[in-house]
Amino acid sequence: MSEKLNRLKEILGEVSDLGRAASVLGWDQQVNMPPGGGEARGRQLATLGKIAQEKFTADEVGELIEDLKKEYTDPETDEGAMIRVAARGYEKARRVPSSFVAEQAVAAAKAFEAWVEARSKSDFSIFRPYLETNVELVKKYISFFPPAEHPYDVLLDDYEPGMKTAEVREIFNDLRPKQVALIKAIREAKQVKDDFLRQSFNEQKVWNFSEKIIAKFGYDFNRGRQDKAPHPFETTFSVNDVRITNRFEKHAPLATLFSAMHECGHALYELGGNPAYERTPLESGTSLAIHESQSRMWENLVGRSLPFWEHFYPSLKKTFPSKLDGVSLKNFYKAINKVEPSFIRVNADEATYNLHIMLRLEIEIGMVDGSLDIKDLPEIWNAKMRDYLGITPPDDAKGVLQDIHWSYGSIGYFSTYALGNIVSAQLWEKINKDIKNLDDQIRKGQFAELREWLRAKIHVFGHKYDPQDIVKRVTGSKIDSAAYVRYLTKKYSDIYGL
């Protein structure tokens, strides 16, 4: 390894360390920190972000990258990929002043605390000025880059490298009428009863059962933990410290189980990374859509499948005998897959979930291009909920305030959830060709072969390949919704007798 490559890796390792330290502070902010600590935490995060930005964008880094591009020309090698990804990140980061990074971090920390209060009081007016600030900062961020086909492209590229707004809209425009037609057919069929899921379940027992499930999946509690937070998330401090958070909702108590599976999917991706990529630009997943394909796969294609509950339902019934007395496996399976438009995205069924994402995408695009006014957001949100899902949120908490992402200024993010659903189905078709007895393994509570398939095909490559490239390498085609439509149609035709 050349002296210059060693020097570049040394600097990039320090930048990674600063980012991971900021992640620790962010995790603590949501899990442990008292509300009064928000302003100081914002300054601390701003300082770390500023130092990392200045270190990464130093002239020395650019010179090293340019020299090493000539030395490591094979993009298939780890060194060639690392330099390519570092160069891409460097070029983008050089455009963003470190002072702006600090300003955005402070604004995000304040906005998060305002969002928590606004959501608890169901009052958008509390959050509105902070969201307006975040959106203005996002527009300022866009201004640092050359004009794109659409200004939203700049934001989308941060989360889904190479993806364009027009591509996402094309995928969604193809998918939307098919999902709407499926939902219409389901609405006209005999409906599923799920009232027993909304009883009062013991919180600690539900929590313990969630950990039992993810331990079976292969989540290593020696390298991770599950804590409570206002919104479930996964965060990575190192390949040997990957944590998840969860929450308990009294009106949907078993949602905790599916949130755990979802966040575990993210965590398995991070835990399955190549240790050699630690502290380099290749660490972590390649994009949010690929990350979401992992979380949605474990949550839905595994966790909401009949074989899965053939294994776990007897144990769940034993844990909650009075709650599930007289509820057959078949009725339980149908209930957890009931299609019913809902206000809360994270609790939405598979048939309606993507419509939540499409709604948010259109709102985000409107915020970015200025075609909608932030003050009108609650009304716009409610109108789109009526148009997309046929329901109207009763208050701001169940409407415009339900997601945490805008408090962090994370605009450009939401479409990756639906893209992740689509990719999960593409991968699932390939997995079932390669693992012939997958259903039988799941039925026995055996997940090792599935987990190791994902590790070998996806996880171990980290950020080495761009998202479209890795999907094509594994499935033979780029991101395409056909497999997802086939999956939804078959599943719900069986459940609803379509």
Q: Give the bridge partners for 366, in sequence order.
A: none
Dist. CA 440–CA 445, nearest whole Å = 9
- At position 210, the amino acid (one-letter code) is S
**Taking a C-beta distance cutoff of 8 angstroms, is the pair 86, 8 a contact?**
yes
**Taking a C-beta distance cutoff of 8 angstroms, is the pair 42, 106 a contact?**
yes
Phi–psi pair at 390, nearest 5 degrees:
75, 20
- At position 407, the amino acid (one-letter code) is S
Closest CA to 485 of 185, 136, 87: 185
> Is 263 among the residues known to form the active site?
yes
Dist. CA 264–CA 278, nearest whole Å = 20
What string of DSSP letters covers 302-313?
Answer: ITTSHHHHHHHH
**Taking a C-beta distance cutoff of 8 angstroms, is the pair 466, 281 a contact?**
no
Closest CA to 468 of 160, 143, 88: 160
237 exposure class (CB count in 10 Å sphere: 0-12, 13-18, 19+): middle
| For the chain, the helix, strand and coil percentages under 3-state DSSP, each to the nearest 5 | 70, 5, 30
- Annotated catalytic residue, options 160, 167, 234, 263: 263
Q: Which residue has the tokens 């393994």?
A: 441
Q: Give the bridge partners for 238, in sequence order.
A: 241
Write out the catalytic residue numbers: 263
